[in-house]
Amino acid sequence: MMSKNVVTYKKVAAEIEKLIKFLMECGLSDDENFPSTSQTAATRFTVTYPNSSFSPLLKNTPYEDLYTHQLEARAFHAKMLDGALIQMSYEFSAGKIEKYRLAFLPSPNLLEFQNNAEIYMEDVLYSEVIDKQVVTVPIRFDYDDREGVARSLKHPKSHLTLGQYHNCRIAVTAPVTPYFFVEFLLRSFYNTAANLFAADLPFHGYDLDSCITAEESALIHVAVPQQR
């Protein structure tokens, strides 16, 4: 049976572009970079954002410094009104998704609120930004299909990391598409009773193969929905 992971880099790039335009049209972001594509070998392609190559160099950097570096380098696809950065970087080999890094980097402080208080005070969407109980938690989905990288339970092929914890790798049932990543972010952090932004996202219409092991599926994990 043919792998469903065979999706072109052009299709993923077009999907990311549609999602960015959606965030712009909804007024949820105030700075954007459309996806850039490059060919690194005969059958290898990348779809990413500006200065994405610097991210791996900042692994041991305090979160506030990492965020500031990424913001100043404009290393993101979208900067949300609350300062959060959305990054999506995919690598393809022989027509398949080989690796990706999908990150949500919330602002580590309230400077944006202090500079634009009227935006937040007038919209319940951002009421949690000034809630003292809210803790900044960066979120990252990773996938790596290269030979010898994944190890069941210890390093799931597709996994979720919370809070930059080095050994936090929560197994995910399948690769995460740009649509499901952005849908997850909107539904989890930006939907309100009056504005269900996630419900209006342009859907991509394709699935990717399951990659979770039996050991991983027997424990708490995250499920990627299949095509509706």
Q: Tell whether 227 is covered by a domain.
A: no
**Strand ranges (DSSP E) for 17-138?**
29-32, 36-41, 44-48, 78-80, 85-93, 96-105
Residue 223 domain flag: no
pLDDT tens digits for range 2-14: 466 668 899 999 9
228 is a domain residue? no
What token pair was written down for 181?
A: 């990543």
The dihedral through the CA atoms of 188, 198, 30, 56 has a sign that is: positive
Give the per-residue pLDDT at 92.
Answer: 96
What pLDDT was estimated at residue 1?
Answer: 47
- Is 118 inside any structural domain? yes
Determine the pLDDT at residue 47. Answer: 97
* pLDDT attached to residue 113: 46
Residue 2 lies in a domain: no
Domain annotation covers residue 57: yes
**Predicted TM-score (pTM) of this structure:** 0.87
Q: What angle do CA 159, 168, 110 make, to 5 degrees?
A: 100
Structural domain including 157 reads: 9-217
Residues 6+ away with beta carbon under 8 Å from 96: 3, 5, 6, 7, 145
State which amino acid sits at residue 35.
P
- pLDDT, tens digit (0-9, with 9 covering 90-100), for 61-87: 888 889 999 999 999 999 998 889 999
pLDDT, residue 162, reads 94
Whole-angstrom Cα Rg for the chain: 18
Does residue 1 lie in a domain region? no
The count of structural domains within the chain is 1
Q: Is 147 exposed, middle or buried (0-12, 13-18, 19+ CB in 10 A)?
A: exposed
144 occurs within a structural domain = yes
8 A C-beta contact, residue 206 and residue 4: yes
Consecutive sets of 10 residues in the chain, 228 residues long: mean pLDDT of each?
71 95 91 95 93 68 89 95 93 93 88 52 56 76 94 95 91 96 91 77 84 96 82
pLDDT value of position 22? 94
Residue 205: CB partners within 8 Å, gap ≥ 6?
227
CA angle 91, 72, 29 (to 5 degrees): 75
